[in-house]
Amino acid sequence: MTPPSERGTDPALRGHADRVEQNIDDADVTGLRVSDPATHAAGLPGVGHAMQIALTQMGPVRTGRTLLRINQTHGFDCPGCAWPEARHRGPVEFCENGAKAVAEEATRRRVTPEFFARHSIAELATWDDYALGQQGRLVHPMVLEEGEEHYRPISWGRALDLIAEELRGLDSPDEAIFYTSGRTSNEAAFAYQLLVRGFGTNNLPDCSNMCHESSGAALTDTIGIGKGSVHLSDIAEADLILIAGQNPGTNHPRMLIALEAAKKAGASIVAINPLREAGLLHFDNPQEPAGLVGRGTDLADDYLQIRLGGDQALFQALGALLLRAHAERTARGEPGVLDEEFLATRTEGFEEYAGHLAALDWGEVATATGLERAQIEALADRLIASRATIVCWAMGLTQHKHAVRTLKDIVNVLLLQGNIGRRGAGVCPVRGHSNVQGDRTMGIFERMPGRFHDALDAEFAFTSPRLFGFDTVAAIEAMRDGRAHVFLGLGGNFLRATPDSAVTEDALRNTRLSVQISTKLNRSHVVTGRRALILPTLGRTERDERGTGPQRVSVEDSMSAVHASTGRLEPASRYLRSEVAIVCGLARRLLTDDGGAPLRGAPHVDWDAWAEDYRLIRASIERVVPGFDDYESRLDQPGGFVLPHPPRDTRTFATPTGRALLTVNPLEYPEVPDGALLLQTIRTHDQFNTTIYGPDDRYRGIRGGRRVVLVNPADLAERGMSDGELVDLVGVHPDGRERRAEAFRAVAYDTPRGCAASYFPETNVLVPLDSYADVSRTPTSKSVVIRLEPARTAS
């Protein structure tokens, strides 16, 4: 309940602010402390930090009760990342950052109707992301009527009626947008997409559009399925693991446990990353006594500090070196390095690919990667020596203009050696949100394939719309241009997660109604349409009691394992409703008559029954989505079940020709005008996307503030700037529009020349809306072209 001006009185908020563009608070940049980056991850400091946050938010009893249920067989799925749980679980199955994610949700702080009576929307709009999030859990449905300055309480019935009225008032269902963030359960996601398609549109943008969309696009085109091909057990069986564009020490800490096991079993690990991330260097496993005292495991055997966006060039170079080695060895009568049998029987496109790489320009490889040829050759030697290779990646590869072709070139290299559908080998896109992959499986996608629509239509006796809907970028454009008038967000923080913050703010303000189904307050609640609703919902950790008793939900992790999640905590308020109940309540009003019979053309569903018994939803999922046979009983198995994945299971490929595809991808890398820098926008160790836990980025040696920009010392010197200087980040984009993020501390940092780094969401103001990846349309959050200017508002 503390506005920024009173932060000094609240120990939880003191000094933790970061600046919202419109409201920059000096305390931030002046409280900043910079030290050398860490060279290892976790251990005691990690446990201590998580405990401190957990105790502040939850108190001691709740902390103990809650943390021990994370990822347990009869507990709830961690609302943190999508890294899978091991089959045999220890008593403690969470990590430092999972504990923080849980503490954020299980906090005892509350945002009450009185809070909204006290703070006007104009006032809240000046608070930063941290201050908003720290207020605690939303506890009552709230409405902001046109022209009013405060949200007021509203009943659930009135709130849902209001949404139904606005939706019915549209000229076309395509004027509404239904966003999803990746925490939504399978059951809620399935009901939601049916509501949306029953209403008549495929406007289902989701956080995946900004995240792993490039992975899905590249993998679907080449191996016929948009998901990773490895099991957790494969990690320990790999000879070689490449980790490109991913910072697991912060974003997937439990992955370090798997990497540690792989190392102990003899695997080599090579990190490909512009920054030397602590979590990739060394791991002190806090779940083992040796790790707690800081004798852990060295992880990366080699570290390629590549330039931003240089990965396609690197993988083309690796492909070329494999081809050359193969030719040389076979000419000498020695065994080759390619899997010729696999290439001949399971793939196509080899000749064209090899022909394309024969013309590879090594000068371009050097420019694009900034790496020495010897480093690349050493990695090629590791590939040649490896019998089973896995490539893991995350946002460092997906959020570039040429992301999809980069990933296709990774698939090419793996296919050359038959590294798909073999133990210890494969593609491993490491997903972000805990159920983002499951949401997609359930149909949260603006372009689902025809067979999904056919199955949906058959199950619910209606005709779902086939016209593709808006993805995230198209949704913003439509609101901006007055082609969409209602926005509904099932979780997430659309405004802060999306690019071009100023444009997106205007776009949301341009709507007639914006609705957020949320657990916590965020900026998407205070930058609204003409009318706005906040619908508070249960989180993963909470008991979900419905008419037929306590309910469980299910989720799918990054490796296609589906399992149950059952919350046990007392809900934050008795006015909360589950996401399933909210979605079904809206569908009942929008798609049925008073007696519950479907309106003409609407799906045949007993929405009231669905809301009371989620087993009924799972029964429908079982009939619509392949791989969910015996859904209910297989959820009872400890660890759940794994969805089919033809390339992984049987080396079969659902491509048009039934073979995996080697592809020819013209080489691309970011172009940076003279004097400009390429900026990547990343996460600190103390945030979950737009939720800010605190002001520190411990592993990178940054404490007490988030407004920093990490720059190569030579790039600073070249600009006559010094370490610690206050600078503005100014966007450079052909449209000439002013995009400025003000007052960042320049920090001299070990990053390749020309490649800077800063944190999102503060830098989303700099990402142009029309700058996105080819094919996947993912905003280019890892290659934003900027200039540094001395700060306009020096402090």
User: Does the footprint of ligand MGD cover residue 151 (CB under 6 A)?
Assistant: no
Q: Which residues contact 605 (CB under 8 A, 6 or more apart)?
A: 194, 198, 460, 587, 591, 598, 620
Write the burial class of residue 146 (CB in 10 Å: 0-12 exposed, 13-18 middle, 19+ buried): exposed
3-state secondary structure of 743: strand
For Mo ion, the closer of residues 252 and 707 by Cβ is 252
**Mask 313-352, x = binds ligand MGD (CB under 6 A)?**
----------------------------------------
Q: Least distance in Å: CB of 380 to ligand MGD?
A: 17
Residue carrying structure tokens 């049987």: 650
Q: Least distance in Å: CB of 756 to ligand MGD?
A: 11
- Residue 776: name the closest of 447, 476, 479 by CA: 447
Of these partners, ligand MGD, Mo ion, none, which one is at the site of residue 318 (CB under 5 to 8 Å by kind)? none
Identity of the residue numbered 665: N
Of these partners, Mo ion, ligand MGD, none, which one is at the site of residue 305 (CB under 5 to 8 Å by kind)? none
Q: Least distance in Å: CB of 321 to Mo ion?
A: 32
Among residue numbers 185 through 214, which ones bind Mo ion (CB under 5 A)? 211
Percent helix / strand / coil, the chain, rounded to 5: 40, 20, 45
Of these partners, Mo ion, ligand MGD, none, which one is at the site of residue 519 (CB under 5 to 8 Å by kind)? ligand MGD
Residue from 782, 785, 786, 791 in contact with ligand MGD (CB under 6 A) = 782
Q: Least distance in Å: CB of 23 to ligand MGD?
A: 19
**Mask 505-534, x = binds ligand MGD (CB under 6 A)?**
------------xxxx-x------------
User: Does the footprint of ligand MGD cover residue 647 (CB under 6 A)?
Assistant: no
User: Does the footprint of ligand MGD cover residue 181 (CB under 6 A)?
Assistant: yes
Of these partners, ligand MGD, Mo ion, none, which one is at the site of residue 691 (CB under 5 to 8 Å by kind)? ligand MGD
User: Does the footprint of ligand MGD cover residue 306 (CB under 6 A)?
Assistant: yes
User: Does the footprint of Mo ion cover residue 177 (CB under 5 A)?
Assistant: no
3-state secondary structure of 150: coil
Quote the CA–CA distance of 784 and 782 in Å, as a whole number: 6
Residue 349 sits at the vertex; the CA angle it makes with 345 and 353, to the nearest 5 degrees, is 130
Among residue numbers 251 through 290, which ones bind Mo ion (CB under 5 A)? none
Quote the CA–CA distance of 253 and 393 in Å, as a whole number: 14
Residue carrying structure tokens 């940054």: 702
Quote the CA–CA distance of 44 and 66 in Å, as a whole number: 20
Q: Least distance in Å: CB of 686 to ligand MGD?
A: 8
User: Does the footprint of Mo ion cover residue 79 (CB under 5 A)?
Assistant: no
Task: Report residue 401 as tokens.
Answer: 């203009």
**Mask 393-432, x = binds ligand MGD (CB under 6 A)?**
-xxx--x--------------------------------x
Q: How far is CA 389 from the centre of its chain?
A: 24
For ligand MGD, the closer of residues 217 and 337 by Cβ is 217
Taking CA atoms, 672 is separated from 733, 755, 757, 770, in Å, by: 11, 10, 15, 17
Of these partners, ligand MGD, Mo ion, none, which one is at the site of residue 19 (CB under 5 to 8 Å by kind)? none
Neighbours of 368 (CB within 10 A): 24
Quote the CA–CA distance of 129 and 523 in Å, as a whole number: 7
Residue from 369, 690, 712, 771 in contact with ligand MGD (CB under 6 A) = 690
Q: Least distance in Å: CB of 787 to ligand MGD?
A: 18
Q: H-type helices in 169-231, by residue range?
A: 186-199, 213-223
**Mask 209-238, x = binds Mo ion (CB under 5 A)?**
--x---------------------------
Site size toward ligand MGD, by CB under 6 A: 61
Q: Least distance in Å: CB of 378 to ligand MGD?
A: 17
Residue from 102, 211, 235, 562 in contact with ligand MGD (CB under 6 A) = 211
User: Does the footprint of ligand MGD cover residue 719 (CB under 6 A)?
Assistant: no
Of these partners, Mo ion, ligand MGD, none, which one is at the site of residue 297 (CB under 5 to 8 Å by kind)? none
For ligand MGD, the closer of residues 72 and 764 by Cβ is 764
Identity of the residue numbered 750: D
Residue from 198, 429, 491, 529 in contact with ligand MGD (CB under 6 A) = 491
The secondary element (H helix, E strand) that includes residue 439 is helix 436-441
The secondary element (H helix, E strand) that includes residue 405 is helix 403-416
Residue from 244, 299, 407, 786 in contact with ligand MGD (CB under 6 A) = 244
Q: Least distance in Å: CB of 542 to ligand MGD?
A: 9
- Residue 762: name the closest of 724, 698, 705 by CA: 705
Task: List residues bridging with 592 in a β-sheet.
Answer: 598
The DSSP letter of residue 37 is P
User: Does the footprint of ligand MGD cover residue 273 (CB under 6 A)?
Assistant: yes
Quote the CA–CA distance of 711 and 151 in Å, as a whole number: 43
Do you find a cis peptide bond into 790, omega within 30 degrees of 0?
A: no
For ligand MGD, the closer of residues 205 and 529 by Cβ is 205
Q: Are 395 and 782 in contact (CB under 8 A)?
A: yes
Quote the CA–CA distance of 358 and 355 in Å, as a whole number: 5
Residue from 16, 69, 140, 183 in contact with ligand MGD (CB under 6 A) = 183
Task: Report residue 77 as tokens.
Answer: 């799925």
Residue from 18, 446, 579, 696 in contact with ligand MGD (CB under 6 A) = 579
β-pair type (641-642, 302-304): unpaired
Q: How far is CA 680 from the centre of its chain?
A: 15
Quote the CA–CA distance of 391 and 311 in Å, as a whole number: 12
Among 303-311, 368-376, 635-643, 650-658, the segment contacting ligand MGD (CB under 6 A)? 303-311
User: Does the footprint of ligand MGD cover residue 767 (CB under 6 A)?
Assistant: yes
Residue from 75, 136, 253, 432 in contact with Mo ion (CB under 5 A) = 432
Q: Which residues contact 381 (CB under 8 A, 6 or more apart)?
A: none
Task: List residues bridging with 744 in a β-sheet.
Answer: 727
**Residues binding Mo ion (CB under 5 A):** 211, 432
**Residues binding ligand MGD (CB under 6 A):** 80-81, 97, 181-183, 207, 210-211, 244-247, 250-252, 272-275, 277, 306, 308-309, 311, 394-396, 399, 432-433, 490-494, 497, 517-520, 522, 537, 539-540, 579, 680-683, 687-691, 760, 763-764, 767, 781-782
